[in-house]
Amino acid sequence: MAKIVAKALVHGACTGKLLHTNLPLSFWGGIDQKTGEVIDHHHPLFGRNVKDCILALPSSRGSCSGSLVMIELLLEKCAPAGLILREDEEIITTGVIVAQTVLGLSIPVLRLSPQDFDYINRHQYASLSGCELLVSMDTPLPFRESPPPSILDLHKHFYLTESEKAILMGDNGHAAAQAMEILLRYAGLQDAHQLTPVSRAHIDACIYTGPASILIPHTFLSQGGHVAVPTTLNAISIDQRRWRELGVAEHLAREADRLANIYVTMGAQSSFTCAPYLLDSPPTTGESIGWAESNAVVFANSVLGARTQKYPDLIDLCISITGLAPLAGAQTGAGRIPRVCVDVSVQCLESLEDAFYPLLGYTIGKIVGRCIPLVTGLEAVQPRPTRSDLKAFCAAFATTSSAPMCHIAGVTPEASQFNPVGLKRIPCNEENIRSALNELTTATDDTVGLVSLGNPHFSLEEFTHLSRLCDGHHKAESVQMIITTNRQVYAAACIAGYVSIVEAFGANILTDTCWCMLGESIVDSTVRNLMTNSAKYAHYAPGIVHRGVHFGTLSECVTAAERGKVGQESPN
């Protein structure tokens, strides 16, 4: 038995078997919140169950909704008994903090040094108590009561303006005071000492994940909660206007609709999009915003040059209610500096067409982990990446990396400020890209029963391209083709005539929801494999809809829809 002193991110006590992994895990799309089973087919813990184990992982990655999944696991009594982390982690830790603050549910969360984290991998059992960790090779350890944590003196550890102190003391109502308390605990995870005003917010927590996703915002609403800054809403779990014809279960539709309306009642806009940067008046360079939704955060920081951290779900709600965010991470100049340089060899660019950028984002995200990279090698590439290319890149990057942004030399607005000299240089070549393609292709035969497009939401630019590919053709009767987008883009695509062409091809266009929110109910039971041009969805789909995946270009997706197979010649 060995004893280790760690940093307690959330105080508590537990004992149990140790489940250890060296690969970060996204709780959203990675863990079944009703059972605790790991459903990420790409993760070494796939098929294992985290319930009642002490889960040791380097960090989380991927979706900001992991915080909600953590709360759902606590409510379902399927959560780990405790968490041990190797790195600074905010998404799932925030889920524990919110559950503790609002619902009185909690588990201990510790952070170890890299050396101690590697050391415990050789052990089978662990016991957590406060800041103390005991590990054993082969003998279960007794439960030890945790000493109560010291009370955090918020005024001592943070610089608060008079107006911020007033919010904390309840002058703006109980909801704002509780939101401020959670924000300060979250800021403490980052060693932040002050807050910064934001001009707008984007709430990712509006997806229905279960009782917790309604219980938390309803509590804030009942306490008089209202947004303090313009706030958009992420894609929700249903197409509000068409859920019946899509066969969505009435219970799910009712609860998802109720959740969306809670946020709208609090003053948020019914934008319902996972790509808020496609809406009118996107953020501008240097603008401080408070966005959740991983792909949107990376796009806002990297492509637009706005400033936001990758906020966990429900921190986004607290930011919208207070109009404030911790001054830390990508909200600061120092938090946007690249730490590594990825040198890209682009010989494969032409052959991969529009599949190149999502594969590149997926690959680089895996390479850099939580480090912000400076990507070189694309400066002279022609044609230049489009907004749709960068959207796909950012979504894929956010799937495999926990970093909030990526600088691309010659492409993104801040990249010219940084010199690769002195940075650790990592090559990224065609072999890496092909490896990502193989990893995302999980189908075991060449059949395609569903073509899924619009993750993140389809843009007007993509509708333009798709309409050209579909014009004069029709998909096979055996193939479903579904596109998700937001209401604003859908209206513009209707006016431009793109929708009529795409629907004549046989595609079905949904608004309000997105593929990461759509479950098996929307997929025909005869479908064995789907095809998509989204690396993000190719990663998550096997765990969400339990189908094999073919990944390819938009053109290849259209051809597969016509033929019902991949690798077939188009009838053009």
**DSSP string for 459-513:** PHHHHHHHHHHHTT----TT-EEEEEE-HHHHHHHHHTTHHHHHHHHT-EEEESB
Confidence tier at 389 by pLDDT (50, 70, 90): very high
- The predicted pLDDT at position 516 comes to 87
Which residue carries 């990420």 as its tokens?
40
Is 298:400 a contact under the CB 8 Å cutoff?
no
For residue 524, the tally of other CB atoms under 10 A from its CB is 11
For residue 306, the tally of other CB atoms under 10 A from its CB is 25
- The predicted pLDDT at position 287 comes to 98
Distance (Å, rounded) from C-alpha 493 to C-alpha 143?
A: 60
Active site residue 63: yes
Q: Is the dihedral of CA 414, 419, 424, 427 positive or negative?
A: positive
Strand order across the 548-551 sheet: 508-511, 480-485, 450-453, 529-532, 548-551
Helix (H, G, I), strand (E, B), or coil: what is residue 308?
A: coil
Mean pLDDT of 394-416: 96
Helix (H, G, I), strand (E, B), or coil: what is residue 426?
A: strand
Q: What is the 3-state secondary structure (H, E, C) of 176-197?
A: HHHHHHHHHHHHHHCCCCEEEE
Average pLDDT, rounded, for the chain:
93
pLDDT, tens digit, 9 for 90 and up, residues 13-61:
999 999 999 999 999 889 999 999 999 988 999 999 999 999 999 999 8
Share of the chain above pLDDT 90, in %: 85
- The predicted pLDDT at position 96 comes to 95
- The predicted pLDDT at position 347 comes to 72
Run of H or E residues at 240: none
Is 58:86 a contact under the CB 8 Å cutoff?
yes
Give me the catalytic one of 26, 63, 129, 213: 63
pLDDT, tens digit, 9 for 90 and up, residues 408-424:
999 999 999 999 999 99
| pLDDT beyond 90 at 71 | yes
- The predicted pLDDT at position 412 comes to 98
Written as six digits, the tokens of 151 are 């009370």
What Å distances lie between residue 62 and 397, 399, 479, CA to CA? 9, 4, 30
- The predicted pLDDT at position 348 comes to 62
In terms of average pLDDT, the best of 97-101, 351-355, 495-499 is 495-499
Residue 507, classified by CB atoms within 10 Å of its CB into exposed (0-12), middle (13-18) or buried (19+), is buried
Does residue 62 come out as left (phi exceeding 0), alpha (psi in the -120 to 50 range) or beta? left
For residue 132, the tally of other CB atoms under 10 A from its CB is 17
Distance (Å, rounded) from C-alpha 261 to C-alpha 119?
A: 48
What Å distances lie between residue 114 and 5, 17, 86, 320, CA to CA? 13, 20, 6, 35
pLDDT, tens digit, 9 for 90 and up, residues 212-253:
999 999 999 999 999 999 999 999 999 998 888 888 889 989
pLDDT, tens digit, 9 for 90 and up, residues 288-313:
999 999 999 999 999 999 999 999 99
| pLDDT beyond 80 at 262 | yes
Strands (E), 371-459: 373-376, 407-408, 424-428, 450-453
C-alpha closest to that of 291 among 398, 411, 385? 398
| pLDDT beyond 50 at 570 | no
Instruction: Give CA angle at 334 (536, 196), nearest 5°.
Output: 85
The DSSP code for 152 is P
Domains, the chain, with CATH or none: 2-136 (3.50.30.10), 154-332 (3.30.499), 337-439 (no CATH), 441-563 (3.30.499.10)
The DSSP code for 445 is S
